[in-house]
Amino acid sequence: MKNKDLKFDTRLIHAGALDEPFGSATVPIYQSSTFAFKSAEHGAACFAGEDNGYIYTRIGNPTITALEENIASLEGGFGGIATSSGMGAATSIYMALLNQGDHILSTDAIYGPSRVIIESHFSRFGVESSYVDSTDIEELKKHLRPNTKVLYIETPANPTIGITDLKACAALARENDLVMVVDNTFCSPFLQNPLEYGADVVFHSVTKFINGHADVVGGVIVPATEELYRKIRSLMVYTGCNMDPHQAWLVLRGVKTLSLRIERSQATAMKIARYLESHPQMAWVRYPGLPSHPQYELAGRQMKGYGSMISFGLKGGYEAGKMLMNHLELATLAVSLGGVETLVQHPASMTHAGVSREDKSSAGITDDLVRFSIGIEDEDDLIADLEQALKSLH
């Protein structure tokens, strides 16, 4: 059966499997930096692109190919490009798609470094940027410039959990000849497939839900077309943003349980979000599955579930948030997200510390904002942990 005919959960397990000579049940780790050519002519043909044999691991490696094909199948794109990290993926995309004098229009509340690298480094090479509230399509339209080339969307946004309308963005991109890029890290391909809505490139920090076990850093890019695939792949290979085979093997192991982990963690997240919203000490709670979320209906339409990321603010502000984080015993006080373990962090002073105070404030990354990534522990234990930590605030 062809991969594309198989259902998502079957593709999680089988897509990208190698035709391996020893019948290994899992993809082996090809821990080799280089590959022998059958002859001088064969080597020349590989370099000329006339033979697709492996050459050198920065360019390609069978274990990495297996992961790339797996994620490309889950996202429904032309092919996958695995990178050293999520930032390696973002950087490869930026470098491949932006030229001197170009403008990138982006969601304002995105992962801090994805913004900082443009504002502090790509700006040195003449790249212009605008960061706006993309949950409002009119805001995006207002900030279009004649030199806008890339529309960069993160939805749900890190850490505000704002939801952007992917279909409307794709229409805007088509009308204005923009390449639309979506960072799909918060959803994973299980919850959302941006290429289906008309995006041109989707990418993940596979460090998060796709690997899911807090033991690997990595990224995967999936462009919709062969042209974009070749352009971005070439840049990734030349800059050496590649993944390594052992990393790819770990992610291949993690991805198999993606559906099971997300189904479990999002069910718990819904309960925790409701618990938090009903708690008298909470000032606000932002979770796409709560009717109080400003884009609740859009989330229901665009995502196949509400995910396991929750942001909230306590009535006691940052001071109360700090005390809560310090008193949680089960939830680990750490950055990152999307793993089997529940994590809690303070974006304004941690993941988004590099973004200026004014930019954080206009993007809604307030000082009181605390972010939860819900894991797969027992929900009663997680709520009991929150309860004891909230009691300690009195």
Closest CB to ligand LCS among residues 54, 115: 115
Q: Are 57 and 242 in contact (CB under 8 A)?
A: yes
* Bridge partners, 153 (sequence order): 182
Q: Contact, 361 vs 312, CB < 8 A?
A: no
Site for ligand LCS in 338-357 (CB under 6 A): 351
Binding ligand LCS (rule: CB under 6 A), the pick from 176, 257, 332, 336 is 336
Name the residue nearer to ligand LCS (CB basis): 157 or 224: 157
Say how many C-beta atoms besides its own lie within 10 A of residue 265's C-beta: 26
**Rounded distance, CA 245 to CA 29, Å?**
6
Q: Select 46 or 83, whichever has its Cβ closest to ligand LCS.
A: 83
Closest CA to 262 of 307, 220, 328: 307
User: Does the active-site annotation cover 208?
Assistant: yes
| Nearest C-alpha neighbor of 164 from the set 201, 138, 196 | 138
87 is a contact residue toward ligand LCS (CB under 6 A):
yes
Cβ nearer to ligand LCS, comparing 73 with 205: 205
Supply the DSSP symbol for 178. P
φ, ψ at 46 (rounded to 5°):
-65, -45
H helix runs in 62-157, sequence order: 62-75, 86-97, 112-116, 137-142
Q: Is 379 helix (H, G, I), strand (E, B) or coil?
A: helix
| 111 counts as catalytic | yes
Rounded Cα distance between 151 and 298, Å, is 19
Asked if 11 is an active-site residue, the reply is: no
Q: Is 185 in the site for ligand LCS (CB under 6 A)?
A: yes
Cα separation, 85 vs 291, in Å, equals 34
Contact flag: residue 229 with ligand LCS (CB under 6 A): no
Residue 114 contacts ligand LCS per CB under 6 A: yes
Q: Pick the catalytic residue from 11, 115, 208, 264.
A: 208
- 58 in active site: yes
Using CB under 6 A, pick the residue from 217, 363, 365, 369 that binds ligand LCS: 217
Part in contact with ligand LCS (CB under 6 A); list of ranges 166-174, 179-187, 230-238, 384-392 = 179-187
Candidates 51-59, 173-181, 270-278, 335-343 — which segment interacts with ligand LCS by CB under 6 A?
335-343
Contact between 132 and ligand LCS per CB under 6 A? no
Q: Considering the rule CB under 6 A, would residue 324 count as an interface residue with ligand LCS?
A: no
Counting contacts by CB under 6 A, is residue 337 touching ligand LCS? yes
Q: Where are the beta strands (DSSP E) in the chain?
A: 81-83, 103-107, 128-132, 148-154, 179-183, 201-205, 219-223, 282-286, 309-314, 332-333, 343-345, 369-373
| Phi, psi (deg, nearest 5) at residue 122 | -65, -25
HSE-CB for 133 with a 13 A CA cutoff: 14
Residue nearest ligand LCS, Cβ-based: 86
Give the range of 5-13, 98-106, 182-190, 385-393 binding ligand LCS by CB under 6 A: 182-190
Measured from the CB of residue 41, what is the shortest distance to ligand LCS in angstroms?
40
Nearer to ligand LCS, 77 or 347 (CB): 347
Q: Which residues are at the interface with ligand LCS (CB under 6 A)?
A: 85-87, 111, 114, 154, 158, 183, 185-186, 205, 207, 217, 219, 335-337, 351
Catalytic residues: 58, 111, 183, 208
